[in-house]
């Protein structure tokens, strides 16, 4: 039998060696057609590797089983990393078609590994005698993680249960892909097209962004408000046209719930049912119990206890905020009750009145490029890192690359920032990687990306951020550092591969440094005059830190509670998603003027993939940690205290999953955190 060879000139760059700068794949040359054959080949290779490990005649050893697993699947990682970067940040109909095809194949491949009984038997054997294997601390942790993963994936179950699990996993993978694509389709399908006469209240930056968005949609000269969060939210904040605010708001919150082909409710109900069934097969009462068992929180009760502690205070604060906003409406002679599409508009007015702060004025001081520099300098002062722009073959002209070096000048990794919104990008902001750090097969350095959705300015104008956008930039950069500073041997333990209620600690902690006066004074500079932000304005900006936290905390915590509740259902028989959401919000006494930050039909954290299913509480769990962790710096009187930074790097940013999260935190802080720092940070101990 002969093996067909690619004809000359049609070499698939995904299958070739990557010899370009920093070992990057030749991204501009990669076409959607290249993925399917590359996936097929990589999947077959991984399957053969797994079968060989499982069938090894030699008795199980750490090297021939655990290390062999760590070395397997490399071709698949390469192809998948490239593919999912593009599927998130620069997708197309062709990429989406590949995504729908390969997501069940990837699930099947993962099943073939985790449900391989011979392989599980080898891991279980090693685990049972782990104390006699002469392993170091990292190797013991790795063996423990493999054992836990296999048990949680069903490796120990009998054949019929495993067959059912495999079918569930594949179906969930397809549904998750479809869910995300439906949300993107709804977002792409709509824009509120406006003329000059419809822009009352909008500051220049919002007009410029709307003009650029219209241009991208081929409607030059008009203005487009899109369903991207930055576009929509700034319109809601500034537009004095109540009719238009209502129109865009109603469309925005209906994403995934519009009937027709992109309606996500049936998919979602099926996913909830399959997850509940999966949990039962694995011996848990509900999906939430299953999910939290391997988190820092350990049980849904522990997560709920924290949320409950916050919820009552947040609602009280939001009620006071609502009354203050309603008063403005009355003062202006308005004869209507504050509605959800009014909240941001009047909150902006009140903020301006109370603190004499004008978001449009503030924005002039938050230039994207300066904020990127500010994030870099913070990393320099904490960890001695430096960042140099480099040219690299990337997938879109808006993406930029920097080489990261440490104090000694040694190469640490590559950082790619892709900051502007566009139609081909999924909404939200995230960190991802093209390559993760490890030392098992050579000294491998990471390639880390931050993808955001900031409004792109018109040509020749500087890109301006809101203070929230700047915070998002710091947040994602905190995740990036978690990937870049990773210092482990085994890839399974690298970087951000920690429980999701711990993974937001490095990112949320990093947000604190944006507010350090040193950093703001240096980098918050006026886009046109270059002047630093006047001290009085800076003080007023920082004074507003807890302003609006009632709204923000309610908007978030409602999502976390509904997430835990829907994943605590024992099954999804007759689950009517819209009714469930409505009833559950009534049960927790959701304020009528606030809508969940992510309603269920477009809640991608939970249903597009599922990384945060029964895990949305993680942000607040991590916030307890980050508020307490930043106090460790404040207690020294120096936001860049070298000793504290050293421990932070050793036990958090550089430590991947080397330790149980609670142990890692204790090693950094000397104790576990209490909720007080969080309540103080959000101003929930004060009245509005």
Q: Where does this chain touch Zn ion (CB under 5 A) — which range of 52-60, 281-289, 363-371, 500-508?
A: 500-508
The contact mask relative to Zn ion for 356-375 (x = CB under 5 A, - = no) is --------------------
Q: State in angstroms the smallest separation of the CB of 534 from Zn ion.
A: 32
Sheet holding 411-420, edge to edge: 386-390, 399-405, 411-420, 447-454, 430-435
Our finding on whether 507 is near Zn ion (CB under 5 A) is yes
Q: Which of 211/475 has CB closer to Zn ion?
A: 475
Residue closer to Zn ion, measured from CB, 262 or 507: 507
Question: Of 489 and 507, which has the nearer Cβ to Zn ion?
Answer: 507
On whether the CB atoms of residues 500 and 605 are closer than 8 A, the answer is: no
Least separation, in Å, of the C-beta of 126 and Zn ion?
34
Alpha helix positions (H), 154-193: 159-189
Q: Which stretch binds Zn ion (CB under 5 A): 202-210, 331-339, 434-442, 507-515?
A: 507-515
Contact window for Zn ion (CB under 5 A) among 6-14, 268-276, 357-365, 505-513: 505-513
Of 295 and 507, CB closest to Zn ion:
507
Q: Are 13 and 33 in contact (CB under 8 A)?
A: no
Residue 496 interacts with Zn ion (CB under 5 A): yes or no: no
In whole angstroms, the minimum distance from the beta carbon of 372 to Zn ion comes to: 18
Phi and psi based region of residue 589 (left: phi greater than 0; alpha: psi -120 to 50; beta: remaining): left
Q: Which stretch binds Zn ion (CB under 5 A): 414-422, 480-488, 499-507, 628-636?
A: 499-507
Stretch that binds Zn ion, among 38-46, 55-63, 322-330, 504-512 (CB under 5 A): 504-512
Closest residue to Zn ion, judged by C-beta, is 507
Distance CA 554, CA 138 (A): 40
Q: Which is nearer to Zn ion, 186 or 504 (CB)?
A: 504
**Binding range to Zn ion, per CB under 5 A, among 127-135, 286-294, 312-320, 502-510:** 502-510
Residue 365 or residue 616: which is nearer to Zn ion going by CB?
Answer: 616
CB of 507 to Zn ion, least distance (A): 4
* Residues binding Zn ion: number (CB under 5 A): 2
Q: Which residue has the tokens 């932070």?
A: 648
Element (H, E) at 626: helix 618-634
Give the C-alpha distances (Å, rounded to integers) separating 80 from 35, 253, 442, 500, 605.
9, 32, 21, 21, 20
CA end-to-end distance (rounded Å), the chain: 77
Pairing between β-strand 430-435 and β-strand 447-454 as defined by DSSP bridges: antiparallel
Q: How far is the CB of 536 from Zn ion (least distance, A)?
A: 33
Q: Write the CA distances from 645 to 437, 477, 507, 510, integer angstroms.
A: 21, 16, 15, 12
Q: How far is CA 633 from CA 482, 627, 629, 640, 646, in A?
A: 19, 11, 7, 7, 11
Minimum distance from residue 478 beta carbon to Zn ion (Å): 8
Residue closer to Zn ion, measured from CB, 182 or 508 = 508
Instruction: Determine the Cα–Cα distance for residues 553 and 313; give it in Å rounded to an integer.
Output: 9
> CB of 624 within 8 A of CB of 104?
no
Q: Which is nearer to Zn ion, 432 or 507 (CB)?
A: 507
Taking the C-alpha atoms of residue 98 and residue 417, their distance in angstroms, rounded to an integer, is: 25
288, 567 Cβ separation under 8 angstroms: yes
**Cβ 616 to Zn ion shortest distance, Å:** 12
Task: Give me the least distance between CB of 52 and Zn ion, in Å please.
Answer: 38
Spatial distance between the Cα atoms of 435 and 414, rounded to a whole number of angstroms: 9
Dihedral sign, CA of 623, 628, 633, 639?
A: positive
Question: Judged by CB under 5 A, does residue 622 bind Zn ion?
Answer: no
By annotation, the residues acting in catalysis are: 476
User: What is the contact surface with Zn ion in residues (CB under 5 A)?
Assistant: 504, 507
């Amino acid at each position: 039998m002969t093996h067909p060879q690619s004809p000359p000139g049609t070499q698939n760059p995904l299958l070739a060696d990557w010899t370009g700068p920093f070992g990057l794949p030749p991204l501009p040359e990669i076409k959607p057609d290249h993925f399917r054959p590359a996936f097929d080949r990589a999947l077959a290779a991984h399957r053969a590797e797994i079968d060989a490990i499982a069938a090894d005649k030699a008795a199980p050893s750490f090297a021939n089983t655990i290390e062999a697993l760590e070395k397997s699947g490399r071709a698949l990682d390469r192809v998948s990393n490239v593919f999912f970067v593009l599927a998130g940040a620069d997708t197309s109909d062709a990429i989406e078609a590949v995504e729908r095809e390969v997501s069940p194949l990837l699930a099947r491949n993962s099943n073939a590994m985790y449900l391989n009984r011979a392989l599980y038997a080898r891991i279980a054997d090693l685990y049972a005698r782990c104390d006699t294997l002469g392993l170091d601390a990292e190797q013991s942790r790795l063996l423990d993680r493999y054992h836990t993963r296999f048990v949680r994936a069903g490796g120990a179950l009998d054949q019929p249960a495993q067959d059912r699990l495999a079918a569930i996993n594949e179906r969930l993978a397809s549904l998750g892909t479809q869910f995300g694509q439906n949300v993107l389709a709804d977002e792409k399908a709509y824009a509120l097209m406006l003329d000059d006469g419809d822009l009352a209240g909008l500051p220049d930056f919002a007009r410029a962004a709307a003009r650029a968005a219209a241009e991208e949609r081929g409607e030059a000269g008009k203005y487009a408000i899109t369903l991207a969060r930055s576009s929509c939210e700034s319109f809601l904040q500034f537009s004095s046209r109540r009719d238009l605010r209502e129109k865009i708001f109603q469309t925005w919150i209906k994403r995934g719930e519009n009937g027709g082909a992109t309606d996500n409710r049936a998919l979602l109900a099926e996913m909830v049912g399959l997850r509940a069934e999966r949990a039962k097969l694995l011996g848990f009462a509900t999906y939430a119990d299953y999910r939290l068992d391997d988190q820092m929180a350990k049980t849904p009760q522990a997560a709920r206890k924290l949320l409950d502690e916050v919820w009552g205070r947040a609602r009280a604060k939001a009620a006071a905020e609502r009354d203050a906003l309603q008063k403005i409406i009355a003062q202006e002679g308005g004869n209507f009750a504050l509605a959800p599409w009014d909240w941001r508009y009047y909150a902006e007015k009140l903020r301006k009145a109370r603190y004499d702060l004008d978001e449009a004025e503030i924005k002039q001081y938050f230039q994207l490029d300066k904020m990127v520099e500010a994030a870099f300098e913070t990393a320099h002062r904490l960890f001695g890192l430096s960042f140099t722009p480099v040219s690299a073959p990337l997938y879109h002209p808006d993406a930029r690359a920097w080489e990261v070096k440490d104090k000694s000048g040694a190469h640490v990794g590559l950082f790619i920032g892709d900051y502007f919104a566009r139609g081909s990008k999924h909404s939200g902001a995230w960190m991802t990687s093209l390559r993760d750090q490890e030392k098992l097969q050579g000294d491998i350095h990471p390639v880390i990306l931050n993808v955001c959705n900031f409004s792109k300015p018109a040509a020749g104008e500087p890109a301006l951020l809101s203070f929230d956008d700047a915070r998002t930039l710091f947040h994602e950069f905190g995740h990036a550092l978690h990937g870049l500073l990773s210092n482990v041997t085994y890839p399974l333990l690298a970087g951000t591969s920690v429980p999701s209620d711990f993974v937001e600690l490095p990112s949320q902690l990093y947000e604190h440094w944006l507010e350090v006066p040193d950093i703001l004074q240096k980098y918050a500079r006026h886009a046109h005059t270059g002047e630093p932000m006047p001290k009085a304005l800076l003080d007023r900006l920082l004074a507003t830190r807890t302003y609006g936290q009632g709204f923000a905390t309610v908007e978030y915590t409602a999502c976390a509670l509904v997430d835990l509740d829907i994943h605590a259902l024992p099954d999804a028989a007759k689950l009517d998603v819209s009714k469930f959401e409505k009833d559950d919000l009534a049960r927790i006494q959701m304020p009528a003027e606030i809508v969940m930050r992510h309603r269920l039909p477009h809640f991608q954290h939970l249903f597009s993939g599922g990384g945060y299913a029964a895990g949305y509480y993680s942000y607040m769990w991590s916030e307890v940690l980050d508020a307490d962790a930043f106090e460790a710096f404040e207690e020294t009187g120096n936001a860049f205290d070298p000793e504290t930074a050293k421990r932070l790097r050793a036990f958090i940013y550089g430590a991947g999953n080397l330790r149980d999260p609670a142990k890692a935190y204790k090693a950094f802080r000397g104790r576990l955190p209490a909720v007080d720092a969080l309540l103080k940070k959000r101003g929930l101990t004060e009245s509005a």
